[in-house]
Amino acid sequence: MSISTNDLKNGMALDLPDGLMTVVEFQHVKPGKGGAFVRTKLKNCRTGAVVDKTFRADEKVNHAMIDKREMQYLYREGSDYVFMDNSSFEQVYVGEAALGEAQKYLKEGDTAILPTYQEEVLCVDLPASVELEVVETEPGVQGDRVSGARKPATVETGLVVQVPLFVELGERIKVDTRTGEYLTRA
């Protein structure tokens, strides 16, 4: 479906020759002389790269309809992650490349939003924070109460997080999925 560059909105997906892009921001510019144009900042849905691109005003571009489905992560099979659609119960195999950093936060049974375009899963949208169990960490040293002191802790997904000294083995912690930082005990 073609739309005019005059109708662009933030978050809209476009199927361009450069790839599948989402509009991060746009600006209509009407100079004193010459034709009007639209200056955009676009993010590649597959690679995450952000590019600046300029279009003529009223230029036609392909609008991409991205379907966001809520799915549950079931298990890992080889290099693929198997998800189940919560409404149709069909299983979808997603490669490691599409998951990116999300694989560090996913555990079996978790629910995530998977944006898909023409049956291809583009990425995984996780909640802002997830609860994970600490499976490996050194005990805090008694009397070592330096303000803000941290130690490494490995969680059940294999991710290593810097946590405060009081966090013990087997505890559940909340981790920010955007930064990978410890937030609080769960």
> Do 20 and 54 share a domain, yes or no?
yes
Question: Are 77 and 102 in the same domain?
Answer: yes
Judgement on whether residues 34 and 54 belong to the same structural domain of the protein: yes
Mean pLDDT per 10-residue run, the chain (186 residues)?
86 87 89 88 83 89 88 89 88 83 85 86 83 84 66 88 86 87 85
Last residue of a domain, one of 121, 138, 159: 121
Per the structure, the count of domains in the chain is 3
Residue 49, C-beta contacts closer than 8 angstroms, at least 6 positions apart: 43
Predicted confidence at residue 142, as pLDDT, reads 61
The CATH number of whichever domain residue 147 belongs to comes to 2.40.50.140
> Where among 62, 95, 113 does a domain terminate?
62
Q: Which pLDDT does position 17 carry in this prediction?
A: 87
Reported in sequence order, the residue ranges of the chain that DSSP labels E, i.e. its strands, are 2-4, 13-16, 19-29, 37-44, 50-56, 60-62, 67-77, 80-85, 91-95, 111-117, 120-121, 129-137, 150-155, 160-164, 172-176, 182-185
Task: Quote the pTM value.
Answer: 0.69
Residues 9 and 27 in one domain: yes
| Residues 55 and 16 placed together within one structural domain of the fold | yes
Neighbouring CB atoms inside 10 A of 1's CB total 7
Q: Domain of 9: which CATH number?
A: 2.30.30.30
Residue 144: the pLDDT is: 58
Which residue, 17, 46, 62, sits at the end of a domain?
62
Question: Do the bridges between strand 91-95 and strand 80-85 make them parallel or antiparallel, or are there none, so unpaired?
Answer: antiparallel
Q: Which domain holds residue 49?
A: 2-62
Q: Are residues 116 and 151 in the same domain?
A: no
Q: Are residues 135 and 172 in the same domain?
A: yes
pLDDT of residue 170: 87
My answer on whether 172 and 142 are in the same domain is yes
What's the pLDDT at 102? 84
